[in-house]
Amino acid sequence: MPAGGLSRTGVFSGNMGYSVAGTATLQQVGADISLVLESNFMASNGPQLGVFLATSASGSLNSQNSIKLANLTSNTGMQTYPVPSGVGLTDYNFVVIYCIPFNVRFGTAPLN
């Protein structure tokens, strides 16, 4: 947990034969929240993979049940994504790696 902040952590599992593994940490320091995919993160290759926060563990993602943070910058290793202001630490319960063109969840990490 970051000094002076709060965090929620989850471990990825793959979906539909895709491999996603590693730890995701949603951390808040002051008013700023960010998502950190830890150094043990890895994901299968795919076209236009996005990093999302979602309210449910399954199904398609839309503006009512998720928020896109960014396109995945790397299939391996540590990376950090800022969470838009107005989104709270407990607003979403899952981190999702999502293939946007094919509407497929590659992997999901439930946040504690």
Per-residue pLDDT tens over the stretch 16-58: 999 999 999 999 999 999 999 999 999 999 999 999 999 998 8
Query: The tokens 């236009």 sit on which residue?
Result: 48
* Residues of the chain above pLDDT 70, percent: 96
Which burial class, exposed, middle or buried, applies to 30 when counting CB atoms under 10 A from its CB (0-12, 13-18, 19+)? exposed
Please state the pTM of the whole predicted model: 0.93
pLDDT, tens only, 78-103: 999 999 999 999 999 999 999 999 99
